[in-house]
Amino acid sequence: MELCKQRVVQTDHNDFLPCKGVIDAMYRCYTQEQYGDEYHKTTPEALPHATMFFNCYFHKYATLTHCMMHFEDSVRAIYRTPETKLIDYN
Protein backbone atom coordinates (compact mmCIF):
# COMPACT_ATOMS: atom_id res chain seq x y z
CA MET A 1 0.00 0.00 0.00
CA GLU A 2 2.75 2.44 0.92
CA LEU A 3 4.68 1.83 -2.31
CA CYS A 4 1.56 2.45 -4.33
CA LYS A 5 0.87 5.71 -2.50
CA GLN A 6 4.43 6.87 -3.09
CA ARG A 7 3.95 6.34 -6.84
CA VAL A 8 0.74 8.40 -6.76
CA VAL A 9 2.44 11.26 -4.91
CA GLN A 10 5.61 11.18 -7.04
CA THR A 11 3.70 11.26 -10.31
CA ASP A 12 1.32 14.00 -9.14
CA HIS A 13 -1.80 11.96 -9.83
CA ASN A 14 -4.92 13.75 -8.67
CA ASP A 15 -6.77 10.53 -7.88
CA PHE A 16 -6.27 7.16 -6.26
CA LEU A 17 -6.63 5.06 -9.44
CA PRO A 18 -3.07 3.70 -9.41
CA CYS A 19 -3.82 2.24 -5.94
CA LYS A 20 -7.39 1.17 -6.66
CA GLY A 21 -6.63 -2.56 -6.83
CA VAL A 22 -4.79 -2.57 -3.51
CA ILE A 23 -7.44 -0.50 -1.73
CA ASP A 24 -10.27 -2.60 -3.13
CA ALA A 25 -8.52 -5.81 -2.05
CA MET A 26 -8.10 -4.44 1.47
CA TYR A 27 -11.78 -3.43 1.52
CA ARG A 28 -12.91 -6.87 0.37
CA CYS A 29 -10.76 -8.48 3.06
CA TYR A 30 -12.08 -6.26 5.86
CA THR A 31 -15.71 -6.77 4.81
CA GLN A 32 -15.34 -10.47 4.00
CA GLU A 33 -16.45 -9.69 0.43
CA GLN A 34 -20.02 -9.00 1.58
CA TYR A 35 -20.38 -5.32 0.65
CA GLY A 36 -19.17 -5.05 -2.91
CA ASP A 37 -15.82 -5.18 -4.62
CA GLU A 38 -14.92 -1.50 -4.78
CA TYR A 39 -14.13 0.68 -1.80
CA HIS A 40 -15.20 3.93 -3.49
CA LYS A 41 -18.66 2.36 -3.98
CA THR A 42 -19.12 1.33 -0.35
CA THR A 43 -22.39 1.69 1.54
CA PRO A 44 -23.88 5.17 2.11
CA GLU A 45 -23.07 4.96 5.84
CA ALA A 46 -19.41 4.25 5.13
CA LEU A 47 -18.87 6.62 2.22
CA PRO A 48 -18.08 9.76 4.27
CA HIS A 49 -15.33 7.84 6.10
CA ALA A 50 -13.99 6.48 2.81
CA THR A 51 -13.77 10.03 1.48
CA MET A 52 -11.87 11.09 4.60
CA PHE A 53 -9.47 8.16 4.09
CA PHE A 54 -8.74 9.20 0.50
CA ASN A 55 -8.33 12.86 1.48
CA CYS A 56 -6.00 11.93 4.33
CA TYR A 57 -3.81 9.29 2.75
CA PHE A 58 -2.86 10.64 -0.64
CA HIS A 59 -0.61 13.44 0.57
CA LYS A 60 3.17 13.41 0.58
CA TYR A 61 3.69 13.17 4.34
CA ALA A 62 0.62 11.16 5.29
CA THR A 63 1.11 7.67 6.66
CA LEU A 64 -1.15 4.68 6.53
CA THR A 65 -0.94 4.47 10.32
CA HIS A 66 -2.27 8.01 10.62
CA CYS A 67 -5.06 7.61 8.05
CA MET A 68 -6.10 4.02 8.73
CA MET A 69 -8.59 5.19 11.37
CA HIS A 70 -10.78 6.55 8.56
CA PHE A 71 -10.66 3.24 6.70
CA GLU A 72 -11.54 1.39 9.91
CA ASP A 73 -14.36 3.87 10.61
CA SER A 74 -15.80 3.15 7.17
CA VAL A 75 -15.86 -0.58 7.87
CA ARG A 76 -17.25 0.05 11.35
CA ALA A 77 -20.04 2.18 9.85
CA ILE A 78 -21.11 -0.77 7.72
CA TYR A 79 -21.45 -3.08 10.69
CA ARG A 80 -22.75 -0.54 13.23
CA THR A 81 -26.10 0.24 11.63
CA PRO A 82 -29.46 0.04 13.40
CA GLU A 83 -30.30 -3.00 11.28
CA THR A 84 -27.34 -4.99 12.59
CA LYS A 85 -27.99 -3.98 16.20
CA LEU A 86 -24.24 -3.89 16.85
CA ILE A 87 -23.12 -1.23 19.30
CA ASP A 88 -19.69 0.30 19.31
CA TYR A 89 -18.69 0.51 22.96
CA ASN A 90 -16.02 3.13 23.53
Instruction: Judge whether 88 lies within some domain.
Output: no
Mean pLDDT comparison of 4-8, 69-73, 76-80, highest-scoring range: 69-73
Give 87's pLDDT tier (boundaries 50, 70, 90). Answer: low
pLDDT at 85: 59
CA distance 87 to 10: 41
Query: How many domains does the structure of the chain reveal?
Result: 1
pTM beyond 0.85: the answer is no
CA distance 53 to 66: 10
Instruction: Judge whether 30 lies within some domain.
Output: yes
pLDDT at 37: 95
Per the structure, the complete domain to which residue 14 belongs is given by 2-79
